[in-house]
Structure 1
Amino acid sequence: MSSLLRAAALAVLTSSVLTAAAQGSTLTIATSGDAPTLDPNLTFSGLAFGITNHIYDSLLTREDDGSIKPRLATSWKRVNPTTWRFELRRNVKFQDGTPFNAQAVKYSVERLINPENKAAGAYVLSMIKTVRVIDEDTVEFVTADPFAPLLAHLTHPVTAIVSPTAARASGKDFGRQPVGTGPFKFSRWNAGNQIELAANPGYWGGKVNIPRLVFRIIPDVGTQVVELRTGRVDLITAVPPENYKDLDANKDLTVFKKLGWGSTYLGFNTQSGVTKNVRVRQAISQAVDRDAIVSVLRQGLAVKANAPIPPTVYGAGKNLPGVSYDLAAARKLLQQAGVKPGTRVTLATYEGAETRQLAEAVQFSLQQLGLNAAVQITDYGTYTANMKKPNHAELFIGSWGTVTLDADYALYALFSSKEIPANNWAFYKNVKVDKLLLDARRSNDQARRLDLYQDAQQQIARDVPWLTLYHPLTTYAKTNRLQGEDWRYSWINLDLSKATLK
C-alpha cells in the first residue's frame, strides 16, 4: 500500500473513531422547531423552555408527585398576607463565574415583570410589586394583594434566574448567549439546525455525567421516529399515536406515557355569532363524539374529561356535569335555539398535524348537527392575534398547559373577565365566577381554595364557554443508552442532571 493510501485510510479510521466517540458522549434530542430565544424571562415558548430548563434554574421546582421542592431557594415562609421571604442556596455560581445571590433574583424578577420589556410571561409574576434584598442570601417578594399560589408560580420556567452581568453585557443578544446556573451551559447555535450545550463543570447540584447535549431541529414527526429507530437521535419528546405500539415493541427503545398537565379543548365565542346562545354551545358539545376522538385520533393516548384541567392539577374539578354524545338531542337543542339548518360558522385553529385532524373531526360533527362549518387554519401567531378580537370565529380549537400544577394558573387566565382578551379567548364573563376565582387566589386556607375552585368549575360547566375534548397523555421515547432521566410532567420539565449514557 502506498504511503498516500495509508494516510487516507488512517484519516478515515481516525475520523470514524472520533465520530463514534463524539456520539458516545453526546445525547441528541429531537425538537420540532427552533427556539425563538434562549432568554427564559423574555419568551413564552415551549420550544425555548425545553432547552432553557437545562441552562437555568428557578427558585422552586415541582417533583414527580406534584410537591414543591427547593431549587435555588432552600426555604421560605410567609411573613404576612402579602410578603414572602426566601432563603437562597449559598455558594452557587453562574456559568460565567459570577455569584448567584439576592441581587440576581431581584434583577431577574424585575426584568420579567418590567412593562418596558413586554414579556409574554410577565403575568406569571405580575402580582409582585416589590422585590426586597434583605442580604446576599435572603430576598422578599411583596404582592399587591394576598396571592396564595405564588410558590406554584415560582416553579414556572419563565421565572428562571439569569446572570445579571451577562444579561447586561449582552443586552438584546442575551437570548443567543445565555448564562444561568443550570447543569448545562450554552455552546453554540446553528440556526434552523441544532443547539448545543455542554456539561457545566461548576454545577451546584454535583457532577453532570453527560458531556454534550444536542437539540436537533426535525419538524416532521415521522422523520423524528426514523431517526430514533436508527439511533441518530436518542430521545423524541412526543410519540405520534400511530407509532406508539410499534416503538413500544422495540427492545432497543423505551416508551413512556403518563397524564400530564395539558388540556385540549373546543372553545366558543360567547360574545359573537350564534355561539352567544348557551343552547347552541350545549348542542355543539353534545354533537362532538369525544370517545371517538380519543380512541381513533389519539389511539387511547388521552383521557376524555369534563373538567377544564386534569386531575394532576391542584383544584381540578370533581363530579362536574358530564356531556354525553347524543346527536338527536343536540339537533333538538339547536332547533330550540332558533338556528336554521345550514347556518354558517367558522372553526379556527393553528397549523399542526393534531390540530388539523381535530378540526376535520369537529367539522364533521358540526355538519352532522346541521351547521355549515368552514375551517380556518393559520400559523400560530396569526391564530393568537385573531383570538384576541371580539368578533373572531364562533369556534376555536386550542390547548393549555397548567404548568404550575395549580388551578389558578388555568382557571383565572382562561375564565376570568379580567383576562379578556389576553387569555380568555371565549370572551366569557360571569360575575360569580370572577369573584370565586379572585377569592381563591387570595385565600391562604387551602381547603377553602379547593371549595372555591369546585364552585367556579360547576358554574363554568353550566355556562359552556368551552368543551374539554381530552387531557393528552404526555409521551416520549428514548434509546436505552439514556438512563436516569427525570421526565416529570413534560419535556420542559425534563431533568438530565443525574442522567447517564451507556
Structure 2
Amino acid sequence: MTMRRRSIGKGLLGAAGGLALPAIAAPREATAQRSANTLRVGFRDAVPNVDPYYNSQRTGVIIGHQAFDGLVHRDPESFRIVPALATEWRWVDGKTLEFTLRQGVKFHDGSPFGPDDVVYTINTVADPASRVATPSNYAWMQGAEKTGPNTVRLHMKHPMPAALDYLALITPIWPKAYRERVGPEGFARAPVGTGPYRFAKVDVSVGVEYERFDDYYEGGPKGRPAIRRITARYLSDAATELTELLSGRVDWIWNINPDQMENVNRLPTLQAVQKESMRVGYLQPDAAGRSGAGNPMTNLKVRQALFHAIDRQALADRLVRGGSRVPDAPCFPSQFGCDGEAAVKYDYNPDKARRLLSEAGFPNGFDVELTSYVQPRQWSEAVQNYLQAVGIRARLNLLQVAAQIQRALRGELALNMGSWGSYSINDVSAILPNYFGGGGNDYARDPEVTKLVEEGGSSNDEETRRRAYSAAIRRITEQAYWIPLHTYVNAYAFSRQLDFTPYPDELPRFYLAKWK
C-alpha cells in the first residue's frame, strides 16, 4: 500500500492544551527534602501487588527494580549483561545455563542468599500453577537445580537466545525461607529482596516507602544509593501529579503531558526532559470475537479501516512529540525480529476507511466501546475523534491500568487502547507471545500466528528466528490484528536540585539519583 499524507486540523487531535500551572512552592521545600535525604516520587497508577512476578504494570516493574536483584544485571548505558547475584555463568549446552553465585549476600531480613533461593524462585515461577502476571516471560523455563554449594543450573524447555536479558530484567530472586513462611499474600504486603533499597511500608492504595539497605552487597551492580529514603505515592491523574510537583509535595513525576514541558522549564525550581523508550502504543481490536460474536471487529475490513482512519504520524508528531516514531510492525523497531519490511503498510486515508466499512456491511458506521488507560487523556480522545470521523462511534471508557488489564484478560474488550514496554527486553519474544501466544491478552487467536511466534522463540539460530518472526508479522499486519500507534517518549519533570538521569529502557533508577 502506498503511503499518503494528509493534513488534519487540531479538531481531530483534540485539545492539546495544558493545565494552568498553580503557584509553585518556595525552593526551601525541595531543600528540606535534600536535607532530610528523602526523595518523593509520584506515580499515576496504583500497583495492587508490588511483587514483580504478580503485576505487569510498568510502575510495578519500577517499584520492584529498586528493591530486588536478579542473577545478572543489564547495564543501562551499554545494555551489556554484568554480574549481580551470580558472579559467573556459562552455557553448558543450548538449553542449559550454569551460574556461580556470589557469596556474602544478605536479604533485607538479614538472612543469607544462596542456591536454594534461586532454585525455589525459578521452579516456582516456571510452574504454570503459580499464575504469574505474564506467563510468556517464564514459559521457556523448565526449572533449576542446585549443582553444588555455590552453583545452580537453569534448564530451558527450548533454546532461549535472550535468556540473560530476561534473567536480568524480570527474574528477581525471592528468599525461600521467608516467602514459604509468610506465603504469597504475606510476601506481597512485606516483600524482601537483596536490592539497594528495602521496603519500609507497602500500602496498595497509597504507595510504598523505601529505606536504603546499608548491607547491600559489595560489588553490587546498582551501588550504594546516595539518597536514604524514598516515598512513592499513587496519584489519581495527570493534573494531580503536576499540581503535587508544582506545589512542592513531590520531587519527581513522569509521563507529563508534553505540552507542559515548556511551562515547567520556565520555573526556577523544576526541569522537564524527554527520552524515547521501548514502549509502543497500540490499538487492539477483538478479531477473535471474545467480547461477543456480533462484534464488528471480527470483520477484517473493519480492522483494516481502523488502520486507515487514524493519522498515526500526526499523533506521534503533535501529541507524543520528542522524536516519537510510528512502527510498521507490532513491536519496537530495535528489537531482534521486529521486521518492519515484512509488515503490510497502511496509509492515513479516511475515505478508504469509509469504503472498507461500507464493504463490511457498515455504511452508517457502528457503536463500540473504546477502552483505554492511556494518559494524557488527549491521546485517547484523539483516537476517538479519528474513529468517529469515519463513522465508528467510539464511546471512550478511561480506566485505571490494573482495571483494564483485568478486563482484557477476561476477554471483555471489543477495542482496547494501551501500551507495552516489553519489560525493556530488546527481543520480540518479549512482546509477540504476550499478544499472539494464546493467553489472556491474545485477541487474535490465530493458530498460524501462534505457531510462527513459538517457532521464532524456540531456536538459537538467528536466521530461523528471523524467518518465523517475519512471517508472523506479515500475517498479523495483513489481518490487522494489532495497530501500532507510536513509540513512547517519556516526559520527566523533577526538581532542579535532583541529579537524575533517564535511560531508554524506561526504568528510572532512583538508586543512582542524588541531591545536588
Query: 2:484 is matched with which residue: 446, 452, 468?
Result: 468
> Which residue identity does 1:32 align to in structure 2?
R
- Structure 1 spans left out of the alignment, 5+ residues: 1-15
2:441 aligns to what? 423
Asked if structure 2 preserves the Cα contact closer than 8 Å seen for 1:82 and 1:147, the reply is yes
Q: Does 1:237 align with 2:254?
A: yes
Using the TM superposition, give the Cα deviation of residue 200 of structure 1 relative to its aligned residue in structure 2, in angstroms: 0.9
1:20 and 1:249 map into 2 onto residues whose CA distance is 22
1:225 aligns to what? 242
**SS where residue 497 of structure 1 aligns?**
helix
1:44 aligns to what? 56
Relative distance call for 1:127 and 1:21 in structure 2 (3 A) is closer
Q: Does 1:150 align with 2:163?
A: yes
2:498 aligns to what? 482
2:80 and 2:121 map into 1 onto residues whose CA distance is 24
Using the TM superposition, give the Cα deviation of residue 255 of structure 1 relative to its aligned residue in structure 2, in angstroms: 2.6
Using the TM superposition, give the Cα deviation of residue 131 of structure 1 relative to its aligned residue in structure 2, in angstroms: 0.9
Q: Does 1:61 align with 2:92?
A: no
Deviates more, 1:295-304 or 1:230-239: 295-304
**SS where residue 431 of structure 2 aligns?**
helix
TM-score with structure 1 length normalisation? Answer: 0.85
Deviates more, 1:356-365 or 1:473-482: 356-365
Relative distance call for 1:207 and 1:32 in structure 2 (3 A) is same
- Alignment map for 1:59-98 (pairs within 5 Å): 59-64=71-76, 65-98=78-111
Asked if structure 2 preserves the Cα contact closer than 8 Å seen for 1:192 and 1:217, the reply is yes
> Which residue identity does 2:433 align to in structure 1?
Y
1:255 aligns to what? 272
1:117 and 1:443 map into 2 onto residues whose CA distance is 26
Asked if structure 2 preserves the Cα contact closer than 8 Å seen for 1:341 and 1:371, the reply is no
Q: Does 1:401 align with 2:413?
A: no
Using the TM superposition, give the Cα deviation of residue 247 of structure 1 relative to its aligned residue in structure 2, in angstroms: 2.0
- Alignment map for 1:286-301 (pairs within 5 Å): 286-299=308-321
Using the TM superposition, give the Cα deviation of residue 286 of structure 1 relative to its aligned residue in structure 2, in angstroms: 0.7
Using the TM superposition, give the Cα deviation of residue 415 of structure 1 relative to its aligned residue in structure 2, in angstroms: 2.1
2:117 and 2:482 map into 1 onto residues whose CA distance is 41
Using the TM superposition, give the Cα deviation of residue 190 of structure 1 relative to its aligned residue in structure 2, in angstroms: 5.4
2:198 and 2:388 map into 1 onto residues whose CA distance is 52
Asked if structure 1 preserves the Cα contact closer than 8 Å seen for 2:373 and 2:417, the reply is no
Alignment RMSD:
2.8
Using the TM superposition, give the Cα deviation of residue 410 of structure 1 relative to its aligned residue in structure 2, in angstroms: 0.6
1:186 and 1:395 map into 2 onto residues whose CA distance is 38
Please give the per-residue CA displacement for 1:312-357, whole angstroms capped at 9, x wherever unaligned: 423222333432111222223333x242322424133145543x54
1:330 aligns to what? 353
**SS where residue 457 of structure 1 aligns?**
helix
Using the TM superposition, give the Cα deviation of residue 160 of structure 1 relative to its aligned residue in structure 2, in angstroms: 0.8
Using the TM superposition, give the Cα deviation of residue 485 of structure 1 relative to its aligned residue in structure 2, in angstroms: 4.5
Using the TM superposition, give the Cα deviation of residue 54 of structure 1 relative to its aligned residue in structure 2, in angstroms: 1.1
1:352 and 1:458 map into 2 onto residues whose CA distance is 27
- Alignment map for 1:355-434 (pairs within 5 Å): 356-378=377-399, 380=401, 383-388=404-409, 392-403=412-423, 404-416=425-437, 419-420=438-439, 422-425=440-443, 427-431=444-448, 433-434=449-450
Relative distance call for 1:70 and 1:248 in structure 2 (3 A) is farther
> Which residue identity does 1:90 align to in structure 2?
Q
**SS where residue 66 of structure 2 aligns?**
helix
Asked if structure 1 preserves the Cα contact closer than 8 Å seen for 2:46 and 2:204, the reply is yes
Asked if structure 1 preserves the Cα contact closer than 8 Å seen for 2:316 and 2:487, the reply is no
Asked if structure 2 preserves the Cα contact closer than 8 Å seen for 1:113 and 1:123, the reply is no
Using the TM superposition, give the Cα deviation of residue 133 of structure 1 relative to its aligned residue in structure 2, in angstroms: 0.6
Using the TM superposition, give the Cα deviation of residue 495 of structure 1 relative to its aligned residue in structure 2, in angstroms: 2.3
Q: Does 1:166 align with 2:178?
A: yes
**SS where residue 315 of structure 1 aligns?**
coil
Relative distance call for 1:194 and 1:401 in structure 2 (3 A) is closer
Q: Name the count of aligned residue pairs.
A: 475
> Which residue identity does 2:66 align to in structure 1?
H
Please give the per-residue CA displacement for 1:406-433, whole angstroms capped at 9, x wherever unaligned: 10111122123xx24x1212x24152x3
2:21 aligns to what? none
2:265 and 2:329 map into 1 onto residues whose CA distance is 30
1:20 and 1:353 map into 2 onto residues whose CA distance is 31
If you compute each CA radius of gyration, which structure gives the higher value, 1 or 2? 1
Asked if structure 1 preserves the Cα contact closer than 8 Å seen for 2:70 and 2:169, the reply is yes
Query: 1:265 is matched with which residue: 277, 282, 298?
Result: 282
Asked if structure 1 preserves the Cα contact closer than 8 Å seen for 2:373 and 2:418, the reply is no
TM-score with structure 2 length normalisation? Answer: 0.83
Relative distance call for 1:85 and 1:474 in structure 2 (3 A) is same
1:139 aligns to what? 152
Asked if structure 1 preserves the Cα contact closer than 8 Å seen for 2:58 and 2:421, the reply is no
1:449 and 1:261 map into 2 onto residues whose CA distance is 21
**SS where residue 303 of structure 1 aligns?**
coil
Q: Which has the higher contact order (CA 8 A, sep 6+)?
A: 2
1:176 aligns to what? 189
